[in-house]
Chain A
Amino acid sequence: MRRSVSIAGLAAALVLGTLGFGAGQRGYVANAQEKMSTMEVKIDNFSFGPVTLTVPVGTTVTWINRDDIPHTVVSTDDSKTFKSKVLDTDEKFSFTFSKAGTYPYFCSIHPKMTGKVIVQ
């Protein structure tokens, strides 16, 4: 494991060397933003985890189904701000929250399963 990390580091250094400092810098900034703006909710044992997720505006939330049974992710509001297709095992659904607010949602197949995304 240690060996592969150092090889990756070497490869990155080579890329930086080849493309020059400016290109390397841009790559780094994009990576950092991606880290900040992507959050995951795991669906496991017929529940959303975490049940309440608080994120900054602009965050993309990805739900991933780890159950043996399909689930959905559907916002509770009448206009259905977000609504996934059915997610089979290991399938994902993503939604980017561009406005602040509280977004309750549920699994439309198992409505006892509820969760909330708070966007600040």
Chain B
Amino acid sequence: MSEKKKDELLNDHNHDGVDRRGFLKCMAWAGTGAFCVIKGGVLNSYSLSRVSEVSTADMMGELSFVQISDSHMGFNKPANPDVAGTLKAAVDKINGLSATPEFMLHTGDISHLSKPEEFDTVDQILKSAKPKDVFYVPGEHDVLNDDGKQFLERYGKGSKGGGWYSFDKKGVHFVGLVNVMNLKAGGLGTLGHDQLEWLEDDVKHLKHSTPIVVFAHIPLWSVYPEWGWGTDDSVQALAYLKKFGSVTVLNGHIHQTMQKVEGNVTFHTAASTAFPQPAPGKADSPGPMKVPAEQLKSVLGITDVNYIQGKHALAVVDSSLA
């Protein structure tokens, strides 16, 4: 990473009080039970052991939802022979949150091989979650062999094109994007011309003060292009969102938590509920990472997101399944 990029990552662009030390402190905790809250424009970080010191009002926003990702139902290799069990553990974690989330986002790779029974199993397990509504975007594992036909039939009602859509909840505008279709040889994730045009039109009429949440499977920022961890035309998509004061981008795909703040945009990737993947460049390939069985739940997780009206940005909290 170049010196310039480092500065872009850590500089305080929008006077939100995210200083280098605070940011690094928060990053150091990521994935090990981190709790990072950007509240009134100021980023605070707590270890999970100190969560009890945070007042309930701060934790319970006006809108609370939860993100899960990469359940890979059907995967049965040594990295996790029981992905149904860990998805159930994720549901237990969600049901144990102090504020019941209003709905769930699933950021793709619901199934491992796009088999109907894999989707059925996930649907069945998620029925026991307290939040009843689930909003999905596909991962590349959900659109195998049929260009996403089955995914659209199951989860894409009312969506456009390859499954993209938007909706509003308590003044927050949510946009679900699809970047796993029609991938080009040698390239990264792709949104494509039609979807970009739709996005431009979708957000055009919104007030600049409207908080925006964008969710998609493959990261919309360049995490590690060598492993395909990025989206070729995400810069265009983000250009349409520049005018907004608060943009939160939620992704999956890389099976680990990672966060980056750039101007008014907070990028965040969620842990998988199935198996971890190595940190960028830390292995020969991004394949499933085997950890000792007793450590598995500590590297899987859910992401809880809170929005308090009038506050600048959304609070994004990762919790492991351990």
Residues of A within 8 A of B (CB): 45-47, 67-70, 72, 76, 85-86, 88-89, 104-106, 108-112, 114
Whether a CB of chain A sits under 8 angstroms from the CB of B85 is no
Whether a CB of chain A sits under 8 angstroms from the CB of B187 is yes
Whether a CB of chain A sits under 8 angstroms from the CB of B188 is yes
Complex Cα spacing A5 to B34, Å: 61
Interface contact B287-A46, CB-CB below 8 Å: yes
Smallest CB separation, B193 vs chain A (Å) = 17
Smallest CB separation, A117 vs chain B (Å) = 14
Contacts of B145 in A (CB 8 A): 85-86
A112: contacting residue among B78, B226, B287, CB under 8 A: B226
Interface of B is mostly: loop
Complex Cα spacing A67 to B228, Å: 17
Smallest CB separation, A75 vs chain B (Å) = 9
Interface contact A111-B183, CB-CB below 8 Å: yes
Complex Cα spacing A46 to B113, Å: 17
Interface contact B186-A106, CB-CB below 8 Å: yes
Residues of B within 8 A of A (CB): 77-79, 112-114, 140-141, 144-145, 183-188, 225-228, 284-288
Interface contact B113-A111, CB-CB below 8 Å: no
CB contact under 8 A between A104 and B144, given known A86-B113, A111-B228: no
List 12 contacting pairs A-B, 8 Å CB cutoff, sorted by A.
Answer: A46-B227, A46-B286, A70-B144, A85-B145, A86-B144, A89-B77, A105-B185, A109-B144, A111-B183, A111-B187, A111-B188, A112-B227
Complex Cα spacing A57 to B226, Å: 34
Complex Cα spacing A70 to B287, Å: 10
Interface contact A111-B287, CB-CB below 8 Å: no
Interface contact B284-A111, CB-CB below 8 Å: no
Smallest CB separation, B279 vs chain A (Å) = 16
Complex Cα spacing A112 to B78, Å: 25
Contacts of B228 in A (CB 8 A): 110-112
Contacts of A104 in B (CB 8 A): 185
For A85, give the chain B residue with the smallest CB separation: B145
Interface contact B287-A108, CB-CB below 8 Å: no
Interface contact B141-A70, CB-CB below 8 Å: yes
CB contact under 8 A between A88 and B113, given known A68-B77, A112-B228: yes
Interface contact B287-A69, CB-CB below 8 Å: yes
Complex Cα spacing A67 to B78, Å: 12
Most central of A46, A47, A85, A112 by chain B CB within 10 Å: A112
Taking A88-B113, A111-B183 as known contacts, 6 extra A-B pairs with beta carbons closer than 8 A to each other, sorted by chain A number, are A46-B285, A72-B144, A109-B144, A111-B184, A112-B187, A112-B188
Interface contact A111-B288, CB-CB below 8 Å: no
For A104, give the chain B residue with the smallest CB separation: B185
Complex Cα spacing A68 to B141, Å: 13
